[in-house]
């Protein structure tokens, strides 16, 4: 099989376990092929953890699930120094962060020190234990989940860490037919399917190389820049009301991630060039967590996604 056939095989294999989450699977593949971390937000029961677990089984990579809790310590994440009485010396015991795919379940339940340790891993692809810094295996990908409903015992993620996520993906309920299929499948107590391993590290590296060769015109590169600047200076684009709603716009990291995400969308569609639709499709997921709203926006029940849609409809492509 060629690379695109293997990707379709991955999607088909995941569909045997996960129902109705095609968009989620697509975004996880975007993160995988670009090395971008992904934050998933949705109410319980939407198969966030199941989807990530299934993807990990399909990939021939080292996977670790870490359940974040308020009493979690940095050493529980990265590891610690332990004393070996036989050798009369301290040895390093590496933590679960030393994997290639990390499922950070309910990431917002961990305190600030744990978030700081995770930030180093996400940003630098390394961790520090004692006085020594250890590089992490490649690829290193954090797929995190959080529950927007239950806020008791949670800690807001630092803005610097939130910005390290390539995308924040909001999940909605399934439609009636999809939920009916889930009910029928999961009500069968004998149902058990072990996904086959399809993509190896070598396959992922080959796919990344192909994606790197996807072309994007200067017109569309400048369109991405205009979208980012519209979040920082909305009044310059005639968005006077949005100027009152946005406290801080997207960081420079957003333009990089939007460019990469658009290339993956083009690749998955079988093209070797980016279209405006690829950029527009990925803009909400790449930007929604990078726009910091004012109190006025919260008072008016305005969300970042609403602002992004207004920006997309207002910013033109200058050919």
User: Which tens digit of pLDDT belongs to each residue from 194-218?
Assistant: 888 899 889 999 999 999 999 999 9
List pLDDT tens digits, range 260-278: 999 999 999 999 999 999 9
List pLDDT tens digits, range 79-115: 988 888 887 888 888 999 999 999 999 998 888 889 8
Reference 55, options 15, 109, 87; nearest CA is: 15
Phi and psi at 89, nearest 5°, equal -155, 165
Compute the average pLDDT of residues 118-146: 89
Burial class of residue 202 (count of CB atoms within 10 Å of its CB; 0-12, 13-18, 19+): exposed
List pLDDT tens digits, range 278-295: 999 999 999 999 999 999
Q: State yes or no: cis peptide before 227, omega within 30 of 0.
A: no
Q: What DSSP line would sit under 222-278, residue for residue?
A: HHHHHHHHHHH-GGGGT-HHHHHHEEE---HHHHHHHHHHHHHHHHHTT-SB--HHH
Q: What DSSP line would sit under 17-51, residue for residue?
A: T--S-HHHHHHHHHHHHHT-EEEEE--TTSSHHHH
Mean of pLDDT over the chain: 90
Alpha-carbon gap, residue 38 to 166, rounded angstroms: 6
Alpha-carbon gap, residue 159 to 119, rounded angstroms: 11
Compute the average pLDDT of residues 12-20: 87
pLDDT of residue 150: 64
Token pair 């999607």 is found at: 11
Segments making up each domain of the chain, as ranges = 3-203, 213-314
At 31, list the tokens: 């993160």
CA of 32: how far to CAs of 29, 52, 145, 166, in Å?
A: 5, 11, 16, 11
At 60, list the tokens: 């021939």
Token pair 């716009």 is found at: 249
Alpha-carbon gap, residue 18 to 145, rounded angstroms: 17
Pick the CATH number of 213-314 from 1.20.1260.10, 1.10.8.80, 3.40.640.10, 3.40.50.720: 1.10.8.80
The separation between the first and the last C-alpha atoms of the chain, rounded to the nearest angstrom, is 39
pLDDT of residue 275: 97
Alpha-carbon gap, residue 207 to 223, rounded angstroms: 26
CATH top-level class of 3-203: alpha beta
Reference 216, options 287, 280, 279, 270; nearest CA is: 279
Q: Which residue has the higher pLDDT, 265 or 18?
A: 265
pLDDT of residue 151: 64
List pLDDT tens digits, range 139-173: 899 999 988 766 666 777 888 888 999 999 998 88
Confidence of residue 252 (pLDDT cuts 50, 70, 90): very high
Domain 3-203 shares a fold with domain 213-314: no
Strand-pair category, 101-105 with 141-146: parallel
List pLDDT tens digits, range 20-62: 888 999 999 999 999 999 999 988 777 888 888 889 889 888 8
pLDDT of residue 164: 92
């Amino acid at each position: 099989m060629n690379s695109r056939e293997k990707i379709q095989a991955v999607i088909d294999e995941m569909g045997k376990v996960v129902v109705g989450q095609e968009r989620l699977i697509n975004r996880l593949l975007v993160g995988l092929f670009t090395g971008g971390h992904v934050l998933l937000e949705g109410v319980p029961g939407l198969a966030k953890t199941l989807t990530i677990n299934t993807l990990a089984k399909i990939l021939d990579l080292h996977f670790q699930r870490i359940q974040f809790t308020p009493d979690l310590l940095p050493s529980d994440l990265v590891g610690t120094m332990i004393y070996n009485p036989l050798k009369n010396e301290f040895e390093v015991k590496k933590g679960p962060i030393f994997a290639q795919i990390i499922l950070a379940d309910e990431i917002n339940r961990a305190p600030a020190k744990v978030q700081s340790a995770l930030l180093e891993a996400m940003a630098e692809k390394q961790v520090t234990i004692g006085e020594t810094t250890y590089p992490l295996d490649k690829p290193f990908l954090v797929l995190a989940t959080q529950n927007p409903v239950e806020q008791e015992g949670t800690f807001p993620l630092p803005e610097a860490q939130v910005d390290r996520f390539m995308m924040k993906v909001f999940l909605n309920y399934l439609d009636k037919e999809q939920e009916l299929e889930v009910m029928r499948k999961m009500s069968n107590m004998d149902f058990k399917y072990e996904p086959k391993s399809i993509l190896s590290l070598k396959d992922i590296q080959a796919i990344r190389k192909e994606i790197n060769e996807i072309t994007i015109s200067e017109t569309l590169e400048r369109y991405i820049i205009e979208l980012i600047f519209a979040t920082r200076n909305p009044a310059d684009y005639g968005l006077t009301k949005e100027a009152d709603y946005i406290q801080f716009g997207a960081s420079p990291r957003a333009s990089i991630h939007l460019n990469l995400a658009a290339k993956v969308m083009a690749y998955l569609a079988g093209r070797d060039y980016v279209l405006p639709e690829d950029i527009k499709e990925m803009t909400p997921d790449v930007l929604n967590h990078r726009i910091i709203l004012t109190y006025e926006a919260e008072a008016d029940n305005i969300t970042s996604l609403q602002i992004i849609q207004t920006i997309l409809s207002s910013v033109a492509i200058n050919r």
